[in-house]
Structure 1
Amino acid sequence: MNDRPDPSARTRLIAPATRRGGGRRPVSPPVERASTLLNDDPAAMRDEGHGPVYGIEDLSAARGLRAALADLEGAADAWLVPSGLAAVTVPLTALLRPGDEMLTTDALYGPTRRFLNRHLKPRGVAASFHDPGAAVADILAALTDRTRLLLIESPASLTFELADVPAIAAACRERGVLTVMDNTWAAGLAFRPLAHGVDVSVQAVTKYIAGHSDLLMGSIAVSDPAVGRQISETIEDLGWRVSPDDAWLALRGLRTLPLRYAEQARSSLVVAEWLQTRPEVARVIHPALPGAPGHDLWRRDYTGAASIFGVVMNGGSEAAAHALMSALELFGLGYSWGGFESLITHETGQLAFRRATPALQGELLRLHVGLEDPADLIADLETGLAAWRDAIR
């Protein structure tokens, strides 16, 4: 009898690389660049038992990445698509039909909202939006007889509201409503949606899993094979696959995900707590901060936190926000997050796309904390805040 405890995710993500069997081999699978795959026997050309039939199917690196992601998510299967946005749009395309309705948060990721309005709406799928901070009962009250799917984004984009995912998923399952959750913030590591009753867990591999800001990719994970079949067939019909080089890079990044995620979370809290003490800052929006909205849900359901958060300034203007950003040397000015580098963006303008614009005390900045020394990042932000003060005088 083996009395060893089940290994942690940190161990499980590495163990397949060192598993014995198959003779001498590299630690990482080879990068196989191929469109045509040759056969020795005409009868075997369409036999999938011998492996992929054509290069559009996943080769060694992609198959290894899919297996590792399925294990991380606790999924029956996981698929790869060319971007994080595709990870959201593929399940919606696969699971919704003309005449269906879907419900989601008003704080939805901007490109996903655009897809709902520009692609699904003309094809007969209606989307409605609930308040990002709505109670579970209010979210469920917004479901109708035609609601087929609830898209969960928790924490929500830019304003980081947390949802009671287990309660929402359970209630939707009772009503026959499918749930899809964008879980990029938790990276499949700090929260496992499928284990909490969600039907489909998606994330942008671009962010924490890849970890080096050098590729675009998304993942889709399911526990129900029937739901998975619809998603798999949609991916096949659309012809959406990832390159072997990107799959190899993402698999390499995945091996160190737990260490990077934990260290960046630690540093982000150091920076966030310091910002809370600053008179230029009205509030910091970070679910892992004690007293923050949703903090109790975070403590109950999550084992870690992302290193991205919002900073609401005390008043100010776009010009002041840009002055602060321009004075920084360690924070890059660029979109995305989850990489090794720290980033800052100005997000006040994005809030205008919501049906109900949140009332904030001032300009909204979004910070992503990388792997730099937090003391150095704080010193950099000191310089930025000085530029802010000069700009608002």
Structure 2
Amino acid sequence: MKQNPQTRLIHAPRKAPQSISTIQPPLYRASTIIFNSTDALFNRHWTDDYDYSYGTHGTPTTFTLGDNIAQLEGGVYHLLTPSGLSAINLVNSCFLSQGDEVWVADNIYGPNMEHLRNLEKRYGITVKVYNPIQVETFQPTDKAKLIWLEAAGSVTLEFPDLNSLIKKAQAHHILTALDNTWGAGLAFNAFDLGEEHLSVDITVHALTKYPSGGGDILMGSVVTRDKELHNKLFRTHAIQGISVSGDDVAQIQRSLASMQLRYEHQSKNALTLLTWLKNQSEFIQVLHPADPDNASYSYWKEICQQGHSAGLVSVIFDSKHQLQDIRNFCDSLKLFKLGFSWGGPVSLVMLYNLKDMRVLEHSHLKDGLLVRFCIGLEHPEDLIQDIQHALEQVKKVKNE
């Protein structure tokens, strides 16, 4: 049959073989996926492990990354989302209904709390707050449906008493969801915590951080071992039209091979900075889960038995320093760039006022303004010099 050139461009008569072996898997870009027959179309179900029916449901590219993230974290089933926050929101919107009670740690990732407060106001859920290192503050009622765990917590980096919190949640038939971005599946296995195979139900992970490693890709994941939970999440994922770019997925897949090397290197450098920071009189407290002086050190040591502790360390300035002093400090840094997130090659800094972020009183935290350092891939001695120079600039301005 003779065809117009335009048709031949779309339906090419000659196609190169599609099966070769390469180091990186092929990249599939797809909205429409072609079925080979009506049998293939109708003899399938959205709960199949690999349901190739439409781009939002998955392609070989997205399933490959999802499988790798699930394996990394110790899970089985996975979903990819456009960001870490969207992964969190997927869990909240899937499992919380009017009248339900959800528990969150007082050091929770701020946008998660904001999302839950919005659900509380609009849809009648109840948000309760607990101290992550005091299990007795977690007092669920019979309406409790979900507890959020974060190890370590945002900004102040407390490592929770995971084993006790999970046991208590299980005794009350409450779903456990862990924000596993800090541990990244490398610091510990959230689906097998070593004590009688104690496990969380769900992990979420901001792949934006360590899996990406470049500070240039946004993505999140939701992982579970439970098929029923996964199907509920997948149904919500599909109804909401959540999808990710195949190009972005391929970029993160490419970075996974170096992820553990980068994680361990940044963790080691953070410990180097920790030792130096603790000797600086400007800081009345240095916060890091692997510091024996940290209030949650024993919980970190119990779970993170290989000694991994990510690349974050926070400091609380002496109260003699006002907000403008801390702003001057941050503005004087050269290598540390002012920005959110972590896990990339460039070190980052961010300042916080804990009085605006916490609901409960915390005796283990000193009063003062907090700065969080996110360690990149620079040499630690250069980072120390950068901080030292910034501190000297603050002193100089105060003395003028």
User: TM-score w.r.t. structure 1 length?
Assistant: 0.89
Alignment match, 1:62: 62
Quick one: which of 9, 27, 32 aligns to 1:31? 27
Partner of 1:305: 309
For this pair of structures, how many residues does the alignment match? 368
Q: 346, 353, 357: which one pairs with 2:357?
A: 353
Alignment-derived partner of residue 381 in structure 1: 387
Conserved in 2, the CA contact under 8 Å of 1:47 and 1:53?
no
Q: Which whole-Å CA distance do the structure 2 matches of 1:34 and 1:209 have between them?
A: 23
- Cα distance in 1 for partners of 2:290, 2:397 equals 31
In the alignment, the residues of structure 2 paired with residue 169 and residue 295 of structure 1 have an alpha-carbon distance, to the nearest angstrom, of 18
**Residues 136-167 of structure 1, C-alpha deviations (whole Å, 9 max, x = no match):** 2332xx11111111111222211112211122
- Alignment-mate amino acid for residue 385 of structure 1: L
The alignment partner of 2:29 has SS state of: coil
Q: Is the 8 A contact 2:133 2:161 kept in 1?
A: no
Q: Using the alignment, how far apart are the partners of 1:44 and 1:23 within structure 2?
A: 21
Moved more, 120-129 or 235-244: 120-129
The amino acid across from 2:248 in the alignment is D
Aligned match of 1:137: 136
Instruction: Return the offset for 1:60.
Output: 2.1
Select 1:295's aligned residue among 284, 294, 297: 297
* Match runs of 1:57-206 below 5 Å: 57-134=57-134, 136-139=135-138, 142-196=139-193, 197-206=199-208
**Match of residue 9 from structure 1:** none
The answer to whether the Cα contact below 8 Å between 1:351 and 1:357 also exists between their aligned partners in 2 is no
Residue 251 of structure 2: SS of its match in structure 1?
Answer: helix
Q: 1:113 to 1:51 in 2, by over 3 A?
A: closer
Return the offset for 1:206.
0.6
Alpha-carbon deviation of 1:279?
Answer: 1.1
CA distance in 2, matches of 1:203, 1:314: 34
Residue of 222, 225, 250 corresponding to 1:223: 225
- List per-residue Cα deviations over 1:19-67 (Å, max 9, x = no partner): xxx9632211122222222344344345548961222222122111111
Tell me which amino acid in the other structure corresponds to 1:309. V
CA RMSD of the aligned region, Å?
A: 1.9
The structure with more radius of gyration: 2
Which AA in structure 1 matches 2:272? V
Secondary structure at the aligned position of 2:148 is classed as strand
Query: Aligned to 2:349, which of 327, 330, 344?
Result: 344
Task: Name stretches of at least 5 consecutive residues in structure 2 with no aligned partner.
Answer: 1-17, 194-198
SS in structure 1 at match of 2:164:
helix
Per-residue deviation at 1:248? 0.7
| Identical counterparts, % of pairs | 31
Deviations 1:303-335 (A, max 9, x none): 311101211111211211111111111111111
C-alpha separation in 2, matches of 1:39 and 1:311: 57
- Deviations 1:68-98 (CA, angstroms, capped at 9, x unpaired): 1111111121111111111111112111221
Name the SS of the counterpart of 2:270 in structure 1. helix
Higher mean alpha-carbon deviation, 375-384 vs 57-66, is at 57-66
Distance in 2 (CA, whole Å) between partners of 1:245 and 1:337 is 21
Structure 1 unaligned segments of length 5 or more: list them. Answer: 1-21
What residue is the counterpart of 1:322 in the other structure?
A: 327
2:51/2:57 contact within 8 Å kept: no
Look up the equivalent residue of 1:325 and give its one-letter code.
Answer: C
Q: Deviations over 1:108-159 (max 9, x none)?
A: 211111101113442121111113432x2332xx111111111112222111
Does the Cα contact within 8 Å between 2:151 and 2:183 map onto a contact in 1?
no
Compute the displacement of 1:277 (Å).
0.6
2:339 aligned partner: 334
AA partner of residue 54 (structure 2): Y
State the 1:192 CA deviation: 1.8
Counterpart pick for 2:242 among 231, 240, 243 = 240
AA aligned to 1:381 is I
Aligned to 1:208: 210
Instruction: Give 3-state SS (helix, strand or coil) of 1:148's partner.
Output: strand
Letter in 1 for 2:360: A
